[in-house]
């Protein structure tokens, strides 16, 4: 199938790009599951933008730089912050029903690391509302083709061209069709990666199952640099319940007065760690919880908002209140504290891009969590993530539109060769390795690290990579195998990056190098 532009990923970044391209170009948007199954729909808190009269761009920029521990690219931060209000207006025009304020147009909440109220939201299910609005607009546009259940395997580069040109350029993607089980190739003059992050590399994660670092791994294999992979944000408050699937408790609950307490004693502990208490940046809060769990030998801490008015709590957090009140959990958040633990949440590093979303390889763009744009630095400021998707999705589309005449059409591409492979009778290998990698990443590459643990993790990654590549070369490609291959690749990049950084900065905290170096320098890996 040939299109003008192929977009891999159907969340906020991919759909924003598609809508900006569609007036003039034929666009394919691929999702490896349903169109709505990505991380955008899971975002609870909201989107940060300067919308209050008492707030300024400079304030938002400074808050972002502070949270990022000085590793941010200031030009990128300025670009995103200054384009934030327009991004919110585009969503409002598409029908996103942001909560109204009592006197202002919208209710603005506040989250950790923000000096002002600047988070627009749709109760506690903002991502779902944004996803539905973008998806509806995309589905109604005749030039946008939404294609679910296509699992991207690898980017099509010069080595896949029939004449064997070997040119360092991307022409689309090979993907396995879940329905047929066969590999298809989709080509275009430009390709945009909008595949999200890699937080499912850890045992506990707030992300959907598909967050396996696919775009980062594919870009790396295609010749792109990756940067700052050691910085994975652990959300401080994920529901602790061994019998229930991981469930995020939004940062906005702390923004509206939720307090972290030790079970049994009800003692608040955040004042011991930071003057901002529960509104400290996520890396500080996550490490504080991790410290208390290990110090006391307990499994969880409590997040308590029961001291607020019950109607206020139910109005602001209806999704959380309803889910936790269900019989399998049985928590009334207007009266009961919520048991919480940190969980892998957001990948702050990724594929290196410029302000247009351009990567190192011609014809390949990237936007959103798959990238290292310079916005987040060593730690993402809350509610800057969907914002990055919205701004960079449009930026990539604008660059493609402006340079369309210079993008050559794809040459004839070789079909995927399935003749040499067979169905596997050893599928247990895939599932075992999937479980193994997530367990040792949690144990050895977690919130607090040591060089010895990282070296042990690297040894295991290298062994699993050898096993996985051997398996990949002999058996028919399946979605689970594709994800495992990418998880192994990205885990190796994370561990290598973590070993390179000999300091503690932002989300990377190591007992062997607890101090901050005087200069903030990106970790950059090149293929």
Catalytic residue annotation: 282
Residue 459 contacts residue 495 (beta carbons within 8 Å): no
Residue 319 contacts residue 125 (beta carbons within 8 Å): yes
Task: Write the CB contacts of 333 (distance below 8 Å, at least 6 apart in sequence).
Answer: 305, 306, 313, 317, 320, 321, 324, 325
Task: Determine the Cα–Cα distance for residues 358 and 291; give it in Å rounded to an integer.
Answer: 40
Residue 241 contacts residue 329 (beta carbons within 8 Å): yes
- How many CB atoms neighbour CB 425 within 10 A? 7
User: 473-485 burial string, b = 16+ CB within 10 Å, else e?
Assistant: eebebbbebbbbb
CA angle at 201 for the pair 499 and 515, rounded to the nearest 5°: 30
Task: Determine the Cα–Cα distance for residues 214 and 56; give it in Å rounded to an integer.
Answer: 37
Q: What distance lies between CA 175 and its chain's CA centroid?
A: 21
CA atoms within 13 A on the CB side of 427: 9
Helix (H, G, I), strand (E, B) or coil at 519: coil
Task: Determine the Cα–Cα distance for residues 159 and 469; give it in Å rounded to an integer.
Answer: 19
Q: Tell me the β-bridge partners of 27.
A: 5, 144
Residue 304 contacts residue 253 (beta carbons within 8 Å): no
């Amino acid at each position: 199938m040939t299109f003008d532009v192929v977009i891999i990923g159907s969340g906020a970044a991919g759909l924003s790009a598609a809508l900006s391209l569609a007036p003039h170009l034929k666009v394919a948007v691929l999702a490896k599951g349903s169109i709505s199954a990505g991380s955008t729909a899971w975002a609870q808190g909201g989107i940060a933008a300067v919308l209050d009269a008492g707030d300024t761009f400079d304030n938002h920029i400074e808050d972002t730089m502070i949270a990022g521990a000085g590793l941010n690219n200031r030009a990128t931060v300025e670009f995103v912050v200054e384009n934030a209000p327009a991004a919110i207006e585009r969503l409002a025009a598409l029908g996103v029903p942001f909560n109204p304020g009592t006197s202002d147009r919208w209710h603005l909440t506040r989250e950790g690391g923000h000096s002002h109220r600047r988070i627009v939201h749709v109760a506690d299910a903002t991502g779902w509302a944004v996803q539905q609005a973008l998806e509806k607009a995309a589905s109604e546009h005749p030039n946008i083709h939404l294609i679910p259940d296509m699992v991207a395997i690898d980017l099509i580069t010069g080595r896949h061209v029939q004449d064997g040109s070997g040119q360092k350029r991307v022409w689309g993607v090979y993907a396995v069709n879940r329905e047929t089980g066969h590999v298809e190739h989709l080509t275009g003059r430009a390709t945009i990666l909008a595949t999200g992050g890699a937080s499912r590399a850890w045992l506990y994660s707030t992300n959907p199952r598909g967050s396996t670092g696919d775009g980062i791994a594919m870009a790396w294999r295609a010749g792109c640099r990756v940067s700052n992979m050691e910085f994975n944000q652990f959300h401080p408050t994920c529901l602790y319940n061994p019998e229930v699937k991981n469930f995020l408790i939004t940062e906005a609950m702390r923004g509206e007065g939720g307090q972290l307490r030790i079970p049994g004693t009800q003692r608040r502990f955040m004042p011991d760690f930071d003057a901002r208490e529960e509104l400290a940046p996520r890396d500080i809060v996550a490490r504080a919880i991790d410290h208390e769990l290990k110090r006391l030998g307990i499994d969880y801490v409590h997040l308590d908002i029961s001291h607020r008015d019950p109607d206020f709590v139910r109005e602001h957090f209806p999704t959380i209140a309803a889910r936790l009140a269900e019989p399998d959990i049985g928590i009334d958040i207007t009266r009961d504290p919520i048991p919480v633990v940190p969980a892998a949440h957001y990948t702050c590093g990724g594929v290196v891009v410029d302000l247009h979303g351009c990567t190192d390889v011609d014809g390949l763009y990237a936007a959103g969590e798959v990238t290292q744009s310079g916005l987040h630095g060593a730690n993402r400021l809350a509610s800057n993530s969907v914002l990055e998707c919205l701004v960079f999705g449009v930026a990539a589309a604008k660059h493609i539109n402006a340079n369309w005449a210079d993008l050559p059409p794809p040459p004839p591409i070789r079909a995927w060769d399935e003749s040499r492979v067979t169905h596997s009778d050893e599928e247990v290998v895939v599932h075992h390795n999937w479980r193994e990698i997530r367990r040792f990443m949690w144990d050895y590459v977690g919130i607090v690290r040591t060089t010895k643990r990282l070296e042990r993790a690297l040894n295991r990654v290298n062994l699993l990579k050898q096993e996985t590549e051997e398996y990949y070369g002999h058996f028919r490609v399946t979605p689970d195998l594709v994800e495992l291959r990418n998880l192994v690749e990205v885990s190796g990049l994370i561990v290598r990056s973590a070993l390179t950084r000999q300091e503690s900065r932002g989300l990377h905290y190591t007992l062997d190098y607890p101090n901050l170096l005087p200069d903030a320098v990106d970790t950059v890996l090149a293929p």
